[in-house]
């Protein structure tokens, strides 16, 4: 159930490049990430019984060794006291004594206790680890029932301890989501979306109306807004069509958003940008503000799309990298999908990563305001996902970047082509247009996180997905 590039160690915000940190007009505050609280359970039968790993196995020594290594290599997790369980009859008491934990890690060091099977039914995210030759039968046996009943469980059977650490990161990611808060800038009611979000991930969401946005925009410091405008212009490879006044307006709305996120103790912001701008309820597009949030390790997402905001937050907490929200275009002739939108970071590998060139352009559909054309790295693996909160699904596909499309004016400013199974995407596409792309191979990580969150995971680039 594992694969791909390694995950960044720890759930701390990514470090910035020293030059960037020294020159940027204003460093945005990144809130402390909620730590994971995980109950660590070691099932095994009493020593002296003829079973795997062996009759007189030293379970205490193995438990002590694994416990110490987990605590050393998983600094983002608070493990509760080690719990030994000899039989499934122990589970009821264990669950009663660990009600306040976020998740369970069941490390099977001896076989045929029935404990893992029972813990998987608890309704909390559960990571089951087979200490090889100690629990294989108990790990593999419940797989069909687990899938059928959508238990919130993920399995690790690997001789590489790094894979166990990676699995703990999935639990850390979900725990971070519990402490996250999203600001949703829109005028329509968000009650139902807020309930769904809270129910699935424990993430909170607060609303900002256009009236409040305009109050904050008016109060935004003009001098700081100008500094931001100058900063973005200096960094751009080119500026095409854009009026200086629109870049200054982008600076104003960014200053307003920075203050709002500090006031509301938020980790992400999404805005009904098109709806509010076209109805004259917003005086600026937020594209450059979102560009800066993504560059600094925060999350700014277009179109009040809560599903995409959740997906981008999962990616951020998993790997400290920004998510690129797009309107994908499928091209079966070239076997590519083209991710098209009007804003993306130029630090696709995180705040401390290498930068790529960007161009300031008008917004594509109306040729107004200012947006970002990010010219992203090529021949790089990417992973694309979407969480659909309403029906508890996660869609996934992956590929390799091939080209930045810039030879025609159609569609959004940033157009990144990716080699993938285009025909399968066309056959299987479902649940909305937007997708969120992160640089790196995090497909298995996201699939397991989705399973741990109780989502149905659909790999949409597989032939005729069921």
CA–CA distances in Å: residue 379 to residues 68, 321, 354, 400, 455: 40, 18, 15, 6, 31
- The H or E element spanning position 316 is helix 306-319
Proportion of the chain above pLDDT 70, given as a percent: 95
Q: What is the pLDDT of residue 11?
A: 54
User: Does position 6 have pLDDT exceeding 70, yes or no?
Assistant: no
Residue 2: what pLDDT? 32
The pLDDT score that the predictor gives to residue 19 is 63
CA distances from 248 to 112, 345, 410 (A): 67, 19, 26
Mean pLDDT across 131-153: 88
What residues are paired with 398 via a beta bridge?
383
Overall residue count recorded for the chain in this entry: 466
pLDDT score of 141: 86
What is the band of 18 on the pLDDT scale with cuts at 50, 70, 90? low
Tens-place pLDDT, residues 321-360 = 999 999 999 999 999 999 999 899 999 999 999 999 999 9
Q: Domains in the chain, start-ordered, CATH in brackets?
A: 34-176 (3.40.50.2300), 180-459 (3.20.14)
* Overall average pLDDT of the 148-176 stretch: 95
The answer to whether the beta carbons of residues 431 and 387 sit under 8 Å apart is no
Whether residue 7 is predicted with pLDDT greater than 90 in this model: the reply is: no
What angle (nearest 5°) sits at the alpha carbon of residue 43, between those of residues 173 and 98?
A: 50
Model pLDDT, residue 8:
43
This prediction has a pTM of 0.94
* Secondary structure letter of residue 390 according to DSSP: G
**Can you give the pLDDT at residue 1?**
34
> What are 413's two structure tokens?
């400013």
- For the chain, the average pLDDT equals 93
pLDDT at 460: 96
**What pLDDT, on the 0 to 100 scale, is given for residue 232?**
96
């Amino acid at each position: 159930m594992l694969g791909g590039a390694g995950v960044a160690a720890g759930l701390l915000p990514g470090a910035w490049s020293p030059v960037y940190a020294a020159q940027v007009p204003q460093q945005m505050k990144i809130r402390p990430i909620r730590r994971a609280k995980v109950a660590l359970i070691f099932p095994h039968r009493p020593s002296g019984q003829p079973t795997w790993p062996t009759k007189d196995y030293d379970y205490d020594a193995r438990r002590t060794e694994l416990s110490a290594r987990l605590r050393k290599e998983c600094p983002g997790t608070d493990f509760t006291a080690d719990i030994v369980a000899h039989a499934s009859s122990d589970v009821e008491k264990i669950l009663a004594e660990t009600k306040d934990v976020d998740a369970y890690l069941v490390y099977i060091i001896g076989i045929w206790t029935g404990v893992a099977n029972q813990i998987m039914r608890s309704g909390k995210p559960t990571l089951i680890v087979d200490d090889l030759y100690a629990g294989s039968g108990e790990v593999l046996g419940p797989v069909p029932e687990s899938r059928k009943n959508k238990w919130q469980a993920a399995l690790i059977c690997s001789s590489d301890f790094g894979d166990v650490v990676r699995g703990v990161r999935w639990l850390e990611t979900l725990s971070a989501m519990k402490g996250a808060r999203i600001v949703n800038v829109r005028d329509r009611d968000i009650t139902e979306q807020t309930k769904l979000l809270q129910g699935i991930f424990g993430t909170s969401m607060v609303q900002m109306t256009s009236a409040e946005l305009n109050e904050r925009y008016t109060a935004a410091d003009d001098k700081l807004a100008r500094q931001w405008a100058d900063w973005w212009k200096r960094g751009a490879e080119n500026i095409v069509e854009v009026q200086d006044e629109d870049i200054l307006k982008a600076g104003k709305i960014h200053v307003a958003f920075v203050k709002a996120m500090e006031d509301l103790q938020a980790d992400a912001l999404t805005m009904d940008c098109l709806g509010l701008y076209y109805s004259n309820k917003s005086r600026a597009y937020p594209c450059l503000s979102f560009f800066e949030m993504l560059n600094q390790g925060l999350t700014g997402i277009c179109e009040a799309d809560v599903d995409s905001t959740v997906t981008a937050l999962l990616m951020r907490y998993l790997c400290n990298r920004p998510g690129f929200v797009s309107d994908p275009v499928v091209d079966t002739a070239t076997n590519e999908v083209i991710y098209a939108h009007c804003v993306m970071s130029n630090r696709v590998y995180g705040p401390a990563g290498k930068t790529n060139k960007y161009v300031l352009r008008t917004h594509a559909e109306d040729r107004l305001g200012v947006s970002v054309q990010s010219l992203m790295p090529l021949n790089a693996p990417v992973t694309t996902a979407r969480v659909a909160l309403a029906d508890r699904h996660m869609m996934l596909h992956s590929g390799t970047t091939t080209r930045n499309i810039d030879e025609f004016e159609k569609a959004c400013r940033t157009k990144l082509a990716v080699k993938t199974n285009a025909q399968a995407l066309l056959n299987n596409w479902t649940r909305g247009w937007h997708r969120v792309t992160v640089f790196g191979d995090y497909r298995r990580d996201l699939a397991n996180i989705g399973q741990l969150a109780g989502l149905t995971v659909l790999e949409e680039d597989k032939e005729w997905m069921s």
